[in-house]
Amino acid sequence: MESKRKWAGASAITVTLLLSACGGGGPASSGGDFSGDKLVLAVLNDQSGIYKDASGPNSVKAVEMAVADYRTKYGDQAVVKKIEVTSTDHQNKPDIANTKASELYERGGADVILDVPTSSAALAVATQAKNHKKLFLDVSAATTALTGAQCNKYTFQWAYNTHLLATGTGATVTRNGGKKWTIIFPDYEFGQNMTKSFTTAVTKAGGTVQETIPTPFPNENFATFLTKAGSSNPDVIGTMQAGGDLINLVKQFNESGLKEKGVELAVGLMLINDIHSLGVEQFAGTLFTDPWYWNMDAEARAWADRFLAETGARPSFEHAGNYSAALQYLDAVQAAGTDDADAVVAKLEGKKVNDVFLRNGEIRAQDHSVVHDANLARVKKPADVKEDWDYEEIVAKIPAAEGFPPAEASGCSMKP
């Protein structure tokens, strides 16, 4: 049974899922252990801008799939009968994210906020989670500050961070001969943090970052920045853009003549949707770090087939990450028997997880970084693509212990 309604205060779409009985006893009652006699999962992300395809509405669908699987798993033993999934557009703006998060916690009854691409927006939501003592499961923002200097008891970073991306891509490209780097980055928290992480990884691998060039965010025309980057004769231009900005930059790089001069383009963050949108021929041969790939094994593909049937598209790692975060949250609620945030946090901390998204996963108690194995991937040549969306060749696995910094190096001082 589903019903849809608009919540004007947070510009949210709400889907209510009622757990149906699987046995003669009927659904378990929410009772007094749940605020409002229901559970509210709020997806806060970019519904209309440059990150819409990477996450956006399909991350909402992934969370709804997690709710459905929770219902199937527990049936009439589920501790909560009524679960709502809401979605709200933060437009990639930290001030809007801050306001919407506060509204979701206070007026929308959100027990947990999920997703939140754009690192500056995610940091704003983390502050609201701390202030309201409600959970925030970050999936799409990569800044290490979330599990470092600005960590808090109620925030978890689920999918990846800039250290993982730099360790995979930056270090490998440098070891393969790309010693002299120029980095082009969007001038906000994500781009700044990516530049710092890549500079560290490149330097550690024996290379040098000779110049860093900030760009507006978002941006469409990168010609001037690419010309400036090429003027220093680098081996590698590292782009820290993502989503629509990355697509624009790659297209303009391919038209600039820099590739013909022997300059390699290294991509800091790329998702399957970027390749699909611009075309595999535009990215062919590009090495990058992918936390999860839909066709990496039978388990991932089986879930991706379900996702394709629901959405008409293959999932990005952010879609799979949202599914995992929602499902593990619901399992923690089931174990706690309540939506009380402190009780749920206690069930999440230290948990070892292997699911569709997390392989060799652990939800670290020390800094709330969710560490897991990831992939070093290369974009296939067009002739090697055997089916739509199958654009990646997995070159190597990145073990969790290598991809994520140790907890003691995170700089996190965990406080409520």
Q: What is the pLDDT of residues 253-312, one digit of tens each?
A: 999 999 999 999 999 999 999 999 999 999 999 999 999 999 999 999 999 999 999 999
Strand residues in 313-414 grouped as ranges (E): 352-353, 361-363, 370-371, 374-379, 392-398
Residue type, 279: G
pLDDT at 13: 63
Omega of the bond prior to 218 within 30 degrees of 0, cis?
Answer: yes
pLDDT at site 22: 39
Task: Provide the β-strand partners of residue 6.
Answer: 13
Ranges under pLDDT 50 in the chain:
1-11, 19-32
- Of 117, 167, 157, 164, residue with least CA distance to 273: 117
Q: Rounded to two decimals, what is the model's pTM?
A: 0.92
Phi, psi of 159 (to 5 degrees): -105, -45
Token representation of residue 126: 């983390």
Q: Are 327 and 83 in contact (CB under 8 A)?
A: no
The DSSP string of 44-59 is EE-SSSTTTTTSHHHH
Q: Where in the chain is the domain with CATH 3.40.50.2300?
A: 30-160+297-371, 166-290+375-402
pLDDT at 414: 83
The topology (CATH level 3) of 166-290+375-402 is: Rossmann fold (3.40.50)
For residue 314, the tally of other CB atoms under 10 A from its CB is 23
- CA dist 376 and 2 (Å) reads 40
pLDDT number for residue 16: 62
* pLDDT score of 55: 95
Phi-psi region of 414 (alpha: psi -120 to 50; beta: other; left: phi over 0): beta
Q: How many CB atoms lie within 10 A of CB 378?
A: 18
Among candidate residues 36, 3, 17, 1, the one with its CA nearest the CA of residue 81: 17
CB 338 within 8 A of CB 331: no
Taking domain 30-160+297-371, whether its CATH number is 3.40.50.2300 is answered by yes
Helix (H) or strand (E) holding 252: helix 243-256
pLDDT score, position 14: 63
DSSP code of 315?
Answer: P
In sequence order, the β-bridge partners of residue 16 are 3, 84
Q: What per-residue confidence (pLDDT) applies to 4?
A: 34
* Residue 159 token pair: 């999918």
Tell me the C-alpha distance between 390 and 376, whole Å.
15
Indicate the residue type of 317.
Answer: F
Query: What pLDDT shows up at residue 18?
Result: 57
Q: Which three-class secondary structure state does DSSP give residue 72?
A: helix
